[in-house]
Structure 1
Amino acid sequence: MSGRAPYGLVAVTCAVLMVVLGLLVSGKGLSGPDALADEWVRSTFGEDLLRLLVLPTEAYVLIPVAVLTATLCLLGRRKPEVALTIAGPLVAILANTWVLKPLFGRWKNTWLAYPSGHTVALVAVLTVLVLLARPGVAKAVIAVVGAVALGGVTIGMIGLGYHYLTDVVGGTLFAIAVVCATWTLLTWAARRRAPVPSDG
C-alpha cells in the first residue's frame, strides 16, 4: 500500500483534537454532550443489547483479528504491514493506559476514563484493517462495517456506564493518530532502506 497519502497530517490533526478535547474534560464528569448521550442511550436500549454491542472491544475478538491480519501479511512477505499490525495497536493501548489516562485524570466511577481504552483497542485494529485493505470495495466495506461497530460500541459503553461519549471520541482520535503515525514512520523507513536504482 502506498505511504504517500497524508497519514502524517491525519495523525497530527487527530492528536491535536484529542489533546484539546482532553483538556476540556480533564478532571470533570459529565459534559453537556455526555449528559444528552447518556440520557438517550439509557432510555432507549436494554442491558442485554448493550452487552452484545460492546463485544467487539473484547480481547478474544480483537486479538484473533490482529493475529490473522499479521499472518496474512507475513505470508505475503509484507514486512511493514506486519509491523503495523502488531506495533500500531500495541503502542496505542500502552500509551493510552500508562500515559494519557493518568495525564488527563478524568474519572468514571473508580477508574480513569479518558481516552477510552476499549475504544483505542477497537479503533486501532480497525484503522490497521482500513489502511491495509486494497483501494476500492474492500476498503469501503471495512470502513463502513468499522463505523457501524464503533457506533454500537459507543452506545454499549455509555449504556453500561463504562465511559462518557467524549471518552469514546478521544479514544477514537488517539487510536487513529497512533496507527497513522506508525504507518508513516514504517513507510518512511522502508523507502530509506530500498536500493537506489542505478543511472548507469
Structure 2
Amino acid sequence: MRSRQPTILAVTCALLTVALGLAFAGDRGPSDIDETADSAITGWPPGLLRALVLPTEPYVLLPVLALLVAWCLHTSRPRDALFAALAPAIAVAANTWLLKPLFDRWKDDTLVYPSGHTVSMVATLVVMLVLFNGTARTVTAVAGAALLAGVTIGMIGLGYHYLTDVIGGTLFAAATVLTIHSATPRTPSDART
C-alpha cells in the first residue's frame, strides 16, 4: 500500500494555493510581505537577476525532463516516463489557462498569480523528488531549495512577480504533480531503482 503522505501534502498545498490566491485576487497590488521582499532586493545587478531566473526557462527545463523520460525508459519504467513527461505540462497548462484567469491578479499588464515561471521549475523538481531515492533525492531537495531561493530573488528583482506569486506557484506545482503521481496506477514492475 502506498503512503498517504503525498496525498495529504498535495491537498494541503492545493488549499494553501487557493487561500493565498483568494487573499490577493484581483487588482489589489502588493501585500506588505511583497513590498518588504521587493525592498530587500532593490538594487541587485540586473545581469545577476537574469542569471538567477534561468532555471525557469523552457530551454533549461525541457532537456532535464527529456533526460528524466529517457532514464525512466532505460530503466523499464514506462509509467514513470509518462509521469515525467506529462505532470509538468499539465501543471503549467492548468496554471496558465485556469488559475491565472481565475485569480485575476495583475502586475502591469500581466496575470501573475500563481507564477508560471515557478510552476514550471518546481513541477520539474517535484517530479525528480518523486522519481529519485536516497542520496539523489537529498541532493535534488537541497539544490532545488537553493534554485528556488535564487529564482525568487531574480523574479522579484526583475519585476516579473510578487513574492506571494512565487509562493502560490510553488504550492500549486507541488499539489498538481503529487496529485497526478498519486492518481497514476502502479504495478510491481514500476518500482523505483
Task: State the 4+ residue runs in structure 1 displaced beyond 4 angstroms.
Answer: none
1:1-200 superposed matches below 5 A:
3-27=2-26, 28-43=28-43, 45-134=44-133, 136-186=134-184, 189-191=185-187
Is the Cα–Cα contact under 8 Å of residues 87 and 182 in structure 1 kept in the other structure?
no
In the alignment, the residues of structure 1 paired with residue 9 and residue 79 of structure 2 have an alpha-carbon distance, to the nearest angstrom, of 19
Greater Rg by CA: 1
Go from structure 1 to structure 2 and tell me whether the alpha carbon gap of 1:191 and 1:73 turns closer, same or farther (over 3 Å shift).
closer
Unaligned runs of 5+ in 1: 195-200
Number of matched pairs: 189
User: 1:95-131: CA deviations, max 9, x gaps?
Assistant: 0000000000000111100000000000000000111
Q: Report the Cα offset of residue 87 of structure 1.
A: 1.6
Q: Report the Cα offset of residue 156 of structure 1.
A: 0.1
In the alignment, the residues of structure 2 paired with residue 155 and residue 142 of structure 1 have an alpha-carbon distance, to the nearest angstrom, of 20
The CA RMSD measured in Å over matched residues stands at: 1.7
In the alignment, the residues of structure 1 paired with residue 120 and residue 136 of structure 2 have an alpha-carbon distance, to the nearest angstrom, of 22
Q: Report the Cα offset of residue 138 of structure 1.
A: 1.4
Secondary structure of the equivalent of 2:114?
Answer: coil
Name the TM-score, length of structure 2 as normaliser.
Answer: 0.94
Q: Report the Cα offset of residue 191 of structure 1.
A: 4.7
Name the TM-score, length of structure 1 as normaliser.
Answer: 0.91
Q: Which amino acid aligns with 2:10?
A: A
Q: Report the Cα offset of residue 77 of structure 1.
A: 1.1
Query: Quick one: percent identity of the two aligned structures?
Result: 50
Q: Report the Cα offset of residue 7 of structure 1.
A: 1.1
Unaligned runs of 5+ in 2: none
Is the Cα–Cα contact under 8 Å of residues 120 and 175 in structure 1 kept in the other structure?
yes
Is the Cα–Cα contact under 8 Å of residues 3 and 183 in structure 1 kept in the other structure?
no
